[in-house]
Structure 1
Amino acid sequence: MRMEYDYMACGGWFQCVQKWDEFTMNLPEGKADLANSDQRDDDVFVREIPSDAVEEAIAAAESCPADAIVIYDDGEQIVP
């Protein structure tokens, strides 16, 4: 599974931080940061989701009111 996080779409509500500890608050920017991710394009960060963190990652994506977090499984978008 792969997660894509659109940094610029993030509204800074930080619900994802409460759901998965790979997201942290970046208060000066008013955005969340995604640990262990690679920047793809200007504002999109990508990372593989460890098998033991799938539930937390999905919860983080589902909690995002801006739909800034998308999860793919075998190339198919599953969240949101």
Structure 2
Amino acid sequence: MPKYDISEIIRAQKEYLERTGSPDFPPASGRCWNCGLNIYEQHYWQIENGIKVRVSTEKEARLITGITVEKAGSELVTGCPHCNRSYCD
């Protein structure tokens, strides 16, 4: 089961950046400047008429977005997982 703990995710990404010498792209607050959602939180979505619409529970969701602890510790975060806006262009 993926783990979504904001403080652990931020710590894992910082450790990844230090370990690899990669640039730091994500906003320090974790809040996407494009969509306003926290990139480190889990959000649930349905697709209606080709458009992503947020829903309140995992049971309703067809798509789940967010950055997990595991992903933050093993990959460079370069954009928002919710709106797909790049932070490195």
Q: Taking structure 2 as the reference length, what is the TM-score of the superposition?
A: 0.25
Structure exhibiting the larger radius of gyration computed from Cα positions:
2
